[in-house]
Amino acid sequence: MSVPSRYRVCVVGLGSMGMGAALSCLRAGLATSGIDLDAGRRDAFAAQGAEGVADGVAGLGGDFDAVIVLVVNGAQARQVILGQGGVADRIAPGGAIMVSCTQSADDARALGADLAARGILMLDAPVSGGAAKAAQGAMTVMASGPDAAFDALAPVLEAVAAKTYRIGSEIGQGATVKVIHQLLAGVHIAVGAEAMALAARAGIPLDTMYDVVTNAAGNSWMFENRMKHVVDGDYTPTSAVDIFVKDLGLVTETGRALGFPLPLASTAFAMFQQASNMGHGREDDSAVIKTFSGITLPEGKA
C-alpha cells in the first residue's frame, strides 16, 4: 500500500512483542520511534535505525500518526496514554492509537470513551503470536473500533500483522476476543504441564513424551512451544507466570460478569496463582509445572 509521506509511528513498550512490532514497522519503511523504561531495550532499538528512542514521549520530537501501545495491562496503557506527559498529547490530526495490551472489555471501553472525548481515534487491538511472530511482522491482531481508526492505522497493521480480524465497530469487542483466546492459551499450558508432570512421575523421559505428543493428536501450539522449555529445563521468560495470573484473572472476571461457569479456566488460574505464590512468578509460564511435587524435572537455566 502507499504510505503517506513522513508517516510517523511510536511504539510504547519495547518488550518481546513491542520490539518485534517496532522492528517490523522499520522494515516496512515507517519512521518509527520507541518508548521504554529499559535503557538496554532503547539502545537495541536505536541500533536498528529507530527515528528516536526515549523513556517517555517528552524525549521525542513532533507528533505521531500512529501509536502502538504494547504494555502489560490496561492500567499501564491508560497511564502512558492519558497520564501526565502521555502520548495522547502527541497524536497528529487524523492519527490513531492502537491499544494492544490484554485488558478487560470495560477498561478498553472506558479508555476509548476518554480518547473519543478528546477527538482521538482508538483501535482496541490485542495481539497474539509471541515474540517470534512479532519479529516476523506476522502477529494476529483482534481489532475493534471505528472504520476511521482502521484506516488511520492501515500502514501499521500491514507492517505488523499476518492477519487482522475486524471483530466489530465497538471498542471492547477486541478485548473480549483476546480474553477468550487467553482462556485457551492458559488452559493449554496448564494441561500440558499436567501431562508432562504425570509422565515424569511415571518415569517416562520427558523428551520422549514431548516428541510423541508433538507428532500426535494431543498436540497444541502452546504444548509444542512451552513444554519444550520444560524439556530443556529453561525457564527464561518470554511470557511469565504472572502474565497468566493476570490474564486468567481477566478470564474468570469475564465469566463472573456474564454469569457463566468456567471450570477449566478457574482451575488453570489457581495453578498459575500457586506457581506465583511458590516464587515462580517471573519465570516462564511453563514453570507452572513446578506446582507438582514428587517429580524430577530436567535441569537447565533457572
CA–CA separation, 227 and 214 (whole Å)? 10
CB-side exposure of 59: number of CA atoms within 13 Å?
Answer: 13
CA–CA separation, 3 and 195 (whole Å)? 49
Q: Are 268 and 261 in contact (CB under 8 A)?
A: no
CA–CA separation, 153 and 155 (whole Å)? 6
Q: Are 42 and 68 in contact (CB under 8 A)?
A: no
Q: Are 222 and 185 in contact (CB under 8 A)?
A: yes
Q: Which residue's C-alpha cell is 509460564?
A: 285
Q: Which residues are catalytically annotated?
A: 178
Q: Are 255 and 262 in contact (CB under 8 A)?
A: yes
Q: Are 97 and 88 in contact (CB under 8 A)?
A: yes
